[in-house]
Amino acid sequence: MMTPEQRYFFDLTGYLHLHGVLSESELRPAQDAAQRLPEDFRIDLNREHFNWYLYAFAFDKALERLTMHPQTWPILLELTGGKPRLGGGNMMVDVHGKPFHPLHSGRESALRKGQPGWRRSFVKDGKIYNNDLVFFFYLTDVFPGDGGLIVVPGSHKANFLREHHYFYPESYTADGGYNDDYFSTEVPEGVTNFTPRAGDVVIMSEHLTHGALSWEPKDRDRRFLTLRYGVQHIGPSDPFPDGVKAQLSPETLELIAVRDFKDRKEITTRDTVELTL
C-alpha cells in the first residue's frame, strides 16, 4: 500500500523520489552486475542520448530482484490495481558527450494525435490507478549540476499541449524530430532536475513530460536500471526472447506474463516476493 503522503505527491506531481531504497547488501551486487554487462546486450536504437543494454535485468539475480523490491512492490501493486506486468528492464548508461534528451510523454503523444490513446490514470476509492509506469533504480550518484533526468511536475494531468518551443526550443528539429546536436544543462522555471544517489528509486508515470539534460561529468557516468510496468491485460503478448525468459525465476516469469483482466497472479497475494533460484 502507498502511504497517504505518497498518494498525495504522486497525484500532484506524477512522480515519487524514494531515498535509500537499496541497502548496502542489495546495492553492491547490483552495481557489480551493472559493470559486468556483456557488450552484446548493448543495442543501437538510432538515438544518441544513452547507451542502452536491453533486457539487462535478466543478466544477474541482483538486478532481477529489483523488479519486485520490498519497498517498491506495494506501490506497484496499488498503482496497477493489483494487476502488474513487467514489460521491460533495460540498463541505461549516460556519459559525457551524449546530447540532450528532449522532453516527451505518452500523454503528449495522445494530445498531438487528438485521440485518447490507451494510457489511463485516475483515482478511484481513494487509490491511484496508472497503467504505464517507469521505475528508475539508480546505481550511481547524481549531484546538482551533473545533468540527468528532468520532468515537468504535474504535466501528467495536462489538458493543453506543450508546444516544442516551450522550455527547450532548440532541442527539436524543424520537422519536430530530436536534435542530436543539442546540448544543455539548464533547468528553466517549471522544470525539475532529479539528483538521486545510488540506491534511490524514482517512480514516474509515462503520462509525465520528461527528458534528460546532457551529462556533464567526464569522470563518471549515470547508470540506472529502467523497469517498465503496465497492467497484465495490455501490451505485447510476448516481448521477451526465449533466451531471456530461460534466465528468469518462476516469480519473474509470472510478473511478465499476460493475464486476463479478471485473473489475479499468485505473486500479487504476497506482501514480499522472494525469487526461487
Which three three-digit cell numbers place residue 166?
516551450
Give the model's confidence band at 118: pLDDT under 50 very low, under 70 low, under 90 confident, else very high: low
Question: Any idea what the CATH number is for the domain that residue 186 is in?
Answer: 2.60.120.620
Output the pLDDT for position 47: 57
Phi, psi of 274 (to 5 degrees): -100, 135
Domain assignment present for residue 102? The answer is yes
Domain assignment present for residue 258? The answer is yes
- 115 vs 54, 111, 219, 230, CA distance in Å? 30, 6, 45, 20
**Percent of the chain predicted with pLDDT > 70:** 94
CA distance 250 to 181: 44
Q: Are 257 and 84 in contact (CB under 8 A)?
A: no
Q: Are 263 and 84 in contact (CB under 8 A)?
A: no
- 179 vs 51, 116, 162, 165, 193, CA distance in Å? 17, 27, 17, 13, 20
Which three three-digit cell numbers place residue 208?
509525465
Q: Are 213 and 193 in contact (CB under 8 A)?
A: yes
Mean of the pLDDT values across residues 223-249? Answer: 92
pLDDT in tens, 245-256: 999 999 999 999
Domain assignment present for residue 49? The answer is yes
**Percent of the chain predicted with pLDDT > 90:** 72
Task: Please provide the size of the chain in residues.
Answer: 277
Residue 155, domain extent: 4-269
Q: In terms of Cα–Cα distance, which of 182, 208, 183 is closest to 194?
A: 208
pLDDT in tens, 36-91: 988 777 776 655 677 889 999 999 999 999 999 999 999 999 999 999 999 999 99
Domain assignment present for residue 274? The answer is no
Q: In terms of Cα–Cα distance, which of 191, 95, 201 is closest to 152?
A: 191
Structural domain count, the chain: 1
Domain assignment present for residue 260? The answer is yes
